[in-house]
Protein backbone atom coordinates (compact mmCIF):
# COMPACT_ATOMS: atom_id res chain seq x y z
CA UNK A 1 0.00 0.00 0.00
CA UNK A 2 1.31 3.43 -0.97
CA UNK A 3 1.54 6.06 1.77
CA UNK A 4 0.72 9.52 0.42
CA UNK A 5 1.49 12.35 2.84
CA UNK A 6 -0.61 15.50 2.60
CA UNK A 7 0.42 19.14 2.59
CA UNK A 8 -2.40 21.69 2.76
CA UNK A 9 -1.43 25.25 1.82
CA UNK A 10 -2.80 28.60 3.01
CA UNK A 11 -0.75 31.76 2.33
CA UNK A 12 2.15 29.58 1.22
CA UNK A 13 2.29 27.82 4.60
CA UNK A 14 1.71 24.21 5.60
CA UNK A 15 -1.54 23.98 7.60
CA UNK A 16 -4.26 21.53 8.58
CA UNK A 17 -7.97 22.16 8.96
CA UNK A 18 -10.50 20.10 10.91
CA UNK A 19 -13.45 18.96 8.75
CA UNK A 20 -12.60 21.61 6.16
CA UNK A 21 -13.27 24.48 8.57
CA UNK A 22 -11.00 27.45 7.79
CA UNK A 23 -11.57 28.81 11.31
CA UNK A 24 -10.03 25.62 12.73
CA UNK A 25 -6.61 26.15 11.15
CA UNK A 26 -3.28 25.09 12.61
CA UNK A 27 -0.04 26.26 10.95
CA UNK A 28 2.46 23.41 11.19
CA UNK A 29 5.31 24.74 9.09
CA UNK A 30 6.02 27.92 7.13
CA UNK A 31 8.23 26.06 4.64
CA UNK A 32 6.29 23.46 2.61
CA UNK A 33 9.42 22.52 0.65
CA UNK A 34 11.20 21.49 3.86
CA UNK A 35 8.21 19.34 4.81
CA UNK A 36 8.14 17.75 1.35
CA UNK A 37 11.88 17.02 1.54
CA UNK A 38 11.38 15.28 4.89
CA UNK A 39 8.82 13.01 3.24
CA UNK A 40 11.20 12.31 0.37
CA UNK A 41 14.05 11.57 2.80
CA UNK A 42 11.80 9.05 4.56
CA UNK A 43 11.44 7.11 1.31
CA UNK A 44 7.96 8.29 0.36
CA UNK A 45 7.31 8.67 -3.35
CA UNK A 46 4.11 10.68 -3.61
CA UNK A 47 2.60 13.89 -2.24
CA UNK A 48 -0.99 15.07 -1.93
CA UNK A 49 -0.77 18.87 -2.24
CA UNK A 50 -3.91 20.91 -1.58
CA UNK A 51 -4.29 24.60 -2.38
CA UNK A 52 -6.82 25.69 0.25
CA UNK A 53 -6.64 29.32 -0.89
CA UNK A 54 -7.44 28.11 -4.40
CA UNK A 55 -10.31 25.94 -3.20
CA UNK A 56 -11.85 28.97 -1.48
CA UNK A 57 -11.24 31.35 -4.40
CA UNK A 58 -12.27 28.94 -7.16
CA UNK A 59 -9.00 29.35 -9.02
CA UNK A 60 -5.47 28.03 -8.45
CA UNK A 61 -3.46 30.30 -6.11
CA UNK A 62 -0.46 28.43 -4.68
CA UNK A 63 1.03 27.08 -7.89
CA UNK A 64 4.45 28.55 -6.91
CA UNK A 65 4.59 26.12 -3.95
CA UNK A 66 3.89 23.26 -6.35
CA UNK A 67 6.57 24.53 -8.73
CA UNK A 68 9.18 24.69 -5.95
CA UNK A 69 8.44 21.22 -4.56
CA UNK A 70 8.39 19.70 -8.06
CA UNK A 71 11.73 21.36 -8.88
CA UNK A 72 13.57 20.37 -5.72
CA UNK A 73 12.19 16.88 -4.96
CA UNK A 74 11.46 13.74 -6.96
CA UNK A 75 8.00 13.33 -5.40
CA UNK A 76 5.12 12.50 -7.70
CA UNK A 77 2.65 15.24 -6.81
CA UNK A 78 -1.10 15.32 -7.11
CA UNK A 79 -2.36 18.90 -6.82
CA UNK A 80 -5.90 20.03 -6.06
CA UNK A 81 -7.83 23.09 -4.99
CA UNK A 82 -9.37 25.66 -7.32
CA UNK A 83 -8.99 23.73 -10.59
CA UNK A 84 -12.06 24.98 -12.44
CA UNK A 85 -10.86 26.16 -15.85
CA UNK A 86 -8.55 24.99 -18.62
CA UNK A 87 -6.03 27.66 -17.57
CA UNK A 88 -5.87 26.20 -14.03
CA UNK A 89 -5.13 22.77 -15.42
CA UNK A 90 -2.45 24.17 -17.73
CA UNK A 91 -0.78 26.04 -14.83
CA UNK A 92 -0.55 23.03 -12.54
CA UNK A 93 0.77 20.65 -15.19
CA UNK A 94 3.35 23.23 -16.32
CA UNK A 95 4.30 23.71 -12.64
CA UNK A 96 5.13 20.02 -12.27
CA UNK A 97 2.03 18.20 -11.03
CA UNK A 98 1.88 14.54 -12.04
CA UNK A 99 -1.87 14.46 -11.40
CA UNK A 100 -4.67 17.00 -11.14
CA UNK A 101 -6.99 16.30 -8.23
CA UNK A 102 -10.60 16.96 -9.21
CA UNK A 103 -13.43 16.96 -6.67
CA UNK A 104 -16.40 19.35 -6.73
CA UNK A 105 -16.04 20.04 -10.46
CA UNK A 106 -16.58 16.32 -11.16
CA UNK A 107 -19.91 16.59 -9.32
CA UNK A 108 -21.12 19.94 -10.59
CA UNK A 109 -19.68 20.01 -14.13
CA UNK A 110 -19.20 16.39 -15.17
CA UNK A 111 -19.05 17.20 -18.88
CA UNK A 112 -16.10 19.56 -18.32
CA UNK A 113 -14.21 16.90 -16.37
CA UNK A 114 -15.01 14.18 -18.89
CA UNK A 115 -13.74 16.51 -21.63
CA UNK A 116 -10.46 16.91 -19.75
CA UNK A 117 -10.17 13.13 -19.40
CA UNK A 118 -10.51 12.83 -23.18
CA UNK A 119 -8.00 15.63 -23.83
CA UNK A 120 -5.30 14.79 -21.29
CA UNK A 121 -5.88 11.09 -20.57
CA UNK A 122 -7.44 9.52 -17.48
CA UNK A 123 -4.01 8.73 -16.04
CA UNK A 124 -3.41 12.47 -15.42
CA UNK A 125 -6.23 12.76 -12.90
CA UNK A 126 -6.98 11.76 -9.33
CA UNK A 127 -10.70 11.84 -8.57
CA UNK A 128 -11.58 13.03 -5.08
CA UNK A 129 -14.86 11.88 -3.56
CA UNK A 130 -16.00 13.50 -0.32
CA UNK A 131 -18.70 11.44 1.35
CA UNK A 132 -21.29 12.01 4.05
CA UNK A 133 -23.54 9.04 4.90
CA UNK A 134 -22.57 7.35 1.59
CA UNK A 135 -23.59 10.44 -0.42
CA UNK A 136 -21.31 12.88 -2.22
CA UNK A 137 -20.60 16.16 -0.44
CA UNK A 138 -19.36 19.34 -2.14
CA UNK A 139 -18.66 23.03 -1.47
CA UNK A 140 -16.23 22.49 1.35
CA UNK A 141 -18.50 19.74 2.67
CA UNK A 142 -21.24 22.23 3.51
CA UNK A 143 -23.53 20.72 0.87
CA UNK A 144 -24.55 17.06 0.60
CA UNK A 145 -25.96 15.85 -2.71
CA UNK A 146 -28.34 12.95 -3.39
CA UNK A 147 -25.64 11.15 -5.40
CA UNK A 148 -24.55 7.85 -3.89
CA UNK A 149 -20.79 7.33 -3.82
CA UNK A 150 -21.19 4.01 -5.67
CA UNK A 151 -23.09 5.57 -8.60
CA UNK A 152 -20.61 8.45 -8.75
CA UNK A 153 -17.62 6.11 -8.92
CA UNK A 154 -19.23 3.79 -11.46
CA UNK A 155 -19.88 6.68 -13.85
CA UNK A 156 -16.27 7.89 -13.75
CA UNK A 157 -14.73 4.43 -13.83
CA UNK A 158 -16.73 3.91 -17.04
CA UNK A 159 -15.15 7.16 -18.30
CA UNK A 160 -11.67 5.76 -17.68
CA UNK A 161 -10.77 7.14 -14.24
CA UNK A 162 -8.22 4.83 -12.62
CA UNK A 163 -7.35 6.46 -9.28
CA UNK A 164 -9.81 7.65 -6.64
CA UNK A 165 -9.43 8.89 -3.11
CA UNK A 166 -12.40 8.97 -0.80
CA UNK A 167 -12.77 11.12 2.32
CA UNK A 168 -15.48 10.51 4.91
CA UNK A 169 -16.01 14.13 5.95
CA UNK A 170 -17.16 13.11 9.42
CA UNK A 171 -13.67 11.72 10.05
CA UNK A 172 -11.32 14.24 8.47
CA UNK A 173 -8.81 15.91 10.74
CA UNK A 174 -10.29 14.33 13.86
CA UNK A 175 -7.80 11.46 14.31
CA UNK A 176 -10.66 9.08 15.13
CA UNK A 177 -9.76 6.33 12.67
CA UNK A 178 -10.74 5.84 9.02
CA UNK A 179 -14.09 4.64 7.66
CA UNK A 180 -13.14 1.00 7.23
CA UNK A 181 -16.71 -0.24 6.65
CA UNK A 182 -17.38 2.33 3.91
CA UNK A 183 -14.09 1.57 2.16
CA UNK A 184 -14.77 -2.17 2.33
CA UNK A 185 -18.11 -1.67 0.57
CA UNK A 186 -16.46 0.42 -2.15
CA UNK A 187 -13.69 -2.13 -2.67
CA UNK A 188 -16.19 -5.00 -2.86
CA UNK A 189 -18.07 -3.19 -5.63
CA UNK A 190 -14.94 -2.02 -7.51
CA UNK A 191 -12.20 -4.58 -6.78
CA UNK A 192 -9.86 -3.40 -9.58
CA UNK A 193 -9.99 0.30 -8.64
CA UNK A 194 -6.78 1.99 -7.42
CA UNK A 195 -8.47 3.15 -4.25
CA UNK A 196 -6.89 5.59 -1.80
CA UNK A 197 -8.30 6.04 1.71
CA UNK A 198 -8.34 9.55 3.15
CA UNK A 199 -9.38 11.02 6.49
CA UNK A 200 -9.19 9.87 10.07
CA UNK A 201 -5.86 8.01 10.01
CA UNK A 202 -4.44 8.33 13.52
CA UNK A 203 -1.95 5.47 13.94
CA UNK A 204 0.03 2.75 12.23
CA UNK A 205 -2.75 0.32 13.23
CA UNK A 206 -5.16 2.31 11.06
CA UNK A 207 -2.77 2.00 8.12
CA UNK A 208 -2.39 -1.75 8.63
CA UNK A 209 -6.20 -2.06 8.75
CA UNK A 210 -6.53 -0.16 5.45
CA UNK A 211 -3.89 -2.37 3.86
CA UNK A 212 -5.71 -5.45 5.13
CA UNK A 213 -8.97 -4.55 3.36
CA UNK A 214 -7.15 -3.93 0.07
CA UNK A 215 -6.64 -0.17 -0.19
CA UNK A 216 -4.03 0.73 -2.80
CA UNK A 217 -2.99 3.84 -0.91
CA UNK A 218 -3.69 6.01 2.12
CA UNK A 219 -3.41 9.77 2.50
CA UNK A 220 -1.93 10.75 5.86
CA UNK A 221 -1.76 14.29 7.17
CA UNK A 222 -2.53 15.33 10.70
CA UNK A 223 -1.26 12.10 12.28
CA UNK A 224 2.23 12.86 10.94
CA UNK A 225 2.14 16.52 11.97
CA UNK A 226 0.86 15.68 15.45
CA UNK A 227 3.60 13.06 15.93
CA UNK A 228 1.22 10.11 16.15
CA UNK A 229 2.94 8.43 13.21
CA UNK A 230 6.71 8.81 12.84
CA UNK A 231 8.04 8.95 9.30
CA UNK A 232 10.52 6.23 10.25
CA UNK A 233 7.59 3.88 11.05
CA UNK A 234 6.21 4.19 7.54
CA UNK A 235 9.15 2.24 6.16
CA UNK A 236 7.33 -0.93 7.28
CA UNK A 237 4.66 -0.23 4.66
CA UNK A 238 6.88 0.91 1.80
The question of whether 130 is a catalytic residue gets the answer yes
What span, in angstroms and rounded, lies between the C-alpha atoms of 189 and 117?
23
Residue 124 near residue 102, CB atoms below 8 Å: no
The question of whether 53 is a catalytic residue gets the answer no
The active-site residue out of 8, 53, 168, 206 is 8
What span, in angstroms and rounded, lies between the C-alpha atoms of 40 and 25?
25
The active-site residue out of 78, 130, 168, 172 is 130
Active site positions, annotated: 8, 130
Amino acid sequence: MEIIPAIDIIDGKCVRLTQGDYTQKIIYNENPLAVAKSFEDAGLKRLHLVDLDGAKAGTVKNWAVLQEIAAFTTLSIDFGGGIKKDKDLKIIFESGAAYATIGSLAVKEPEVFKGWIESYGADKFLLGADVKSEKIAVAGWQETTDILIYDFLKDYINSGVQQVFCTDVSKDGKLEGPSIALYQKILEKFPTLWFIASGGVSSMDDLYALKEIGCSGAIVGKAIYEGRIALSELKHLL
